[in-house]
Amino acid sequence: MLKKIVAVLATLWAAAGLIAGAVLGVYMYRHINHPFYFLLPFVLLGGLGVVPSSLLLLLLRAKTWRARLATVAVYGVAIALAVGGPAAWRNYYETPRNGGPYLVWSDDPKTTMTVCWTAQQSVPGRVEYAAEGAAEWKPAECPATNYPKVKIAGLQPGAKYRYRVPALGGQEHPFQTAPAVPEDFSFAVYGDNRHAGGFSWHSSVMREMVREDGREHFRLILNSGDIVERPGKGYGWQWATFLRDITPLAASRPYEVSLGNHESGGDPPPFEDYFDYGHKEHWRTLDYAGVRFITVSTQDDIKPGSAQYSWLEQALDQKPADNRFTVVTMHKPLLTRDPRGKYNDPVMRGELEPLFAAKGVDIVFAGHVHAYEHHHLPSFEHVITGGGGVLLWAKPTPGPDTVKTETVWHFCAVNVKGKTMSVRALRTDGSVIEAFEVQSKR
Ligand SMILES: [Fe+2]
């Protein structure tokens, strides 16, 4: 009798877990239209119901102690593998692995290129490079470290080269320097690719970006920040995964990161281990083919009177004579239509929007909110491209300034042709969220 009661209760427990998982799964799927959002709660809650109750039912049915012990052993091994497997994998990746190579500009983009990678052993970094078509390989080196950054200097503007890193197997990668005069080109921009709760769809976004690169030939990849969940100890596996994901593109063109709140800080600060943009501040200017790219740090003081604000005024005032567009990349947005409201910072909108409007900014790419948002502001376009792979949840409510919102993993492909900038926001299957153009004000 007791056995029957326990069996009924166990069956009810399993059914309750499955039903609760399905109900929550349907609710989440209706919020974010992706199968993962059904599967996650269904597997977690369903598992919580089915695993203990099935174990109990099998133990009740078992006729011998040996059978009961074998059942417990099988369940124990399965649970240990499910829980311990990912933990062991993450532990393995805590120490620096051989990752990369990836490129950044730590100096003049017309005449230099900096090759970065991570090394398991701290040994001097060595790169060999050659002009396109030239037979002679030249060396460039840096001191011993687990995070080599080798600057190649003395290059020709607008010229094609190739390089190889012997420590990484010597595979050749092409790269090219910034042109001396404006020309048509494309770049990609996205952000918020970090893991959350162990999950990230960054590799899917990058796969589509690689496919799109076959048509667009991106010269530059911009990331609006939140590249890892936490920067320091315990999250080395996220840096390793991040480098694995970006290398197919970042090995052959610079990768520019606007510091996000998730990779800020740490002692020593790991962001600086991985990225060197030529100076200690997290804000910088890059002029490429008549486009001024301004990277703003929303993790540092940006109020009027701050060092960054003064620098920003100068960066916006002192544009090169051939400037046709000014593009700002920053992590936290000027505004968002996320209904939770907590991401709207009065300093961002109240102080920076008038400055950007007065100084001729053409478009802002931000992140932080896990969705795509496009707002048409009186003087410039404002895009949140925060669907680079992180778990999606934000579901913006369009306002009067909103052109388009969608909660989906995506990136933006931007083409600059003459005085027209064409922006296409693309989902991971290559379909278009929206496309729009910006005309040069110069
Ligand atoms: Fe963020």
* pLDDT tens for each residue of 16-67: 999 999 999 999 988 888 889 999 999 999 999 999 999 999 999 999 999 9
Predicted local confidence at residue 8, as pLDDT: 93
Predicted local confidence at residue 345, as pLDDT: 83
Tell me, in angstroms, the distance from the centre of ligand 1 to residue 168's CA. Answer: 32
Amino acid at site 49: G
Is 270 buried (19+), middle (13-18) or exposed (0-12) by CB count in 10 A? buried
Which residues are CB-contacts of 402 (< 8 A; sequence separation ≥ 6)? Answer: 337, 373, 374, 375, 376, 396
Tell me, in angstroms, the distance from the centre of ligand 1 to residue 46's CA. Answer: 31
- 95 vs 424 pLDDT, higher one: 424
Predicted local confidence at residue 398, as pLDDT: 92
Tell me, in angstroms, the distance from the centre of ligand 1 to residue 333's CA. Answer: 10
Predicted local confidence at residue 348, as pLDDT: 84
Rounded CA-CA distance 66/69 in Å is 5
Tell me, in angstroms, the distance from the centre of ligand 1 to residue 425's CA. Answer: 20
| C-alpha closest to that of 99 among 247, 269, 255 | 247
Is residue 250 a contact partner of residue 102, using CB atoms and an 8 Å limit?
yes
Predicted local confidence at residue 234, as pLDDT: 82
Tell me, in angstroms, the distance from the centre of ligand 1 to residue 197's CA. Answer: 15
Mean pLDDT of 159-173: 97
Ordered structural domains, the chain, with CATH: 2-92 (no CATH), 100-178 (2.60.40.10), 181-439 (3.60.21.10)
In this predicted structure, the answer to whether residue 1 has a pLDDT above a threshold of 90 is no
Tell me, in angstroms, the distance from the centre of ligand 1 to residue 173's CA. Answer: 32
- 86 vs 316 pLDDT, higher one: 316
Predicted local confidence at residue 191, as pLDDT: 98
Mean pLDDT of 369-385: 97
Tell me, in angstroms, the distance from the centre of ligand 1 to residue 154's CA. Answer: 37
Tell me, in angstroms, the distance from the centre of ligand 1 to residue 360's CA. Answer: 26
Tell me, in angstroms, the distance from the centre of ligand 1 to residue 194's CA. Answer: 9
In this predicted structure, the answer to whether residue 306 has a pLDDT above a threshold of 90 is yes
Mean pLDDT of 267-283: 88
Tell me, in angstroms, the distance from the centre of ligand 1 to residue 130's CA. Answer: 39
Tell me, in angstroms, the distance from the centre of ligand 1 to residue 105's CA. Answer: 24
Tell me, in angstroms, the distance from the centre of ligand 1 to residue 313's CA. Answer: 24
Per cent of the chain over pLDDT 90 is: 83
Mean pLDDT of 95-119: 94
Is this prediction's pTM over 0.75?
yes
Tell me, in angstroms, the distance from the centre of ligand 1 to residue 100's CA. Answer: 24
Tell me, in angstroms, the distance from the centre of ligand 1 to residue 33's CA. Answer: 22
Tell me, in angstroms, the distance from the centre of ligand 1 to residue 315's CA. Answer: 24
Predicted local confidence at residue 34, as pLDDT: 87
In this predicted structure, the answer to whether residue 265 has a pLDDT above a threshold of 80 is no
Tell me, in angstroms, the distance from the centre of ligand 1 to residue 402's CA. Answer: 21
Q: Is 94 helix (H, G, I), strand (E, B) or coil?
A: coil
Tell me, in angstroms, the distance from the centre of ligand 1 to residue 195's CA. Answer: 12
In this predicted structure, the answer to whether residue 95 has a pLDDT above a threshold of 80 is no
- 342 vs 358 pLDDT, higher one: 358
Predicted local confidence at residue 2, as pLDDT: 83
Mean pLDDT of 84-96: 84
- pLDDT (tens digit per residue) in 218-261: 999 999 999 999 888 888 889 999 999 999 999 999 999 999 99
Which residues are CB-contacts of 321 (< 8 A; sequence separation ≥ 6)? Answer: none
Mean pLDDT of 143-164: 97
Tell me, in angstroms, the distance from the centre of ligand 1 to residue 244's CA. Answer: 22
Tell me, in angstroms, the distance from the centre of ligand 1 to residue 386's CA. Answer: 9
In this predicted structure, the answer to whether residue 413 has a pLDDT above a threshold of 90 is yes
Tell me, in angstroms, the distance from the centre of ligand 1 to residue 409's CA. Answer: 15
Tell me, in angstroms, the distance from the centre of ligand 1 to residue 335's CA. Answer: 14
- pLDDT (tens digit per residue) in 422-438: 999 999 999 999 999 99
Rounded CA-CA distance 208/212 in Å is 6
Q: Is 176 helix (H, G, I), strand (E, B) or coil?
A: strand
Tell me, in angstroms, the distance from the centre of ligand 1 to residue 429's CA. Answer: 25
In this predicted structure, the answer to whether residue 411 has a pLDDT above a threshold of 80 is yes
- 158-172 burial, b at 16+ Cβ within 10 Å, e below that, comes to ebebbbbbebbeeee
| pLDDT averaged over every residue in the chain | 94
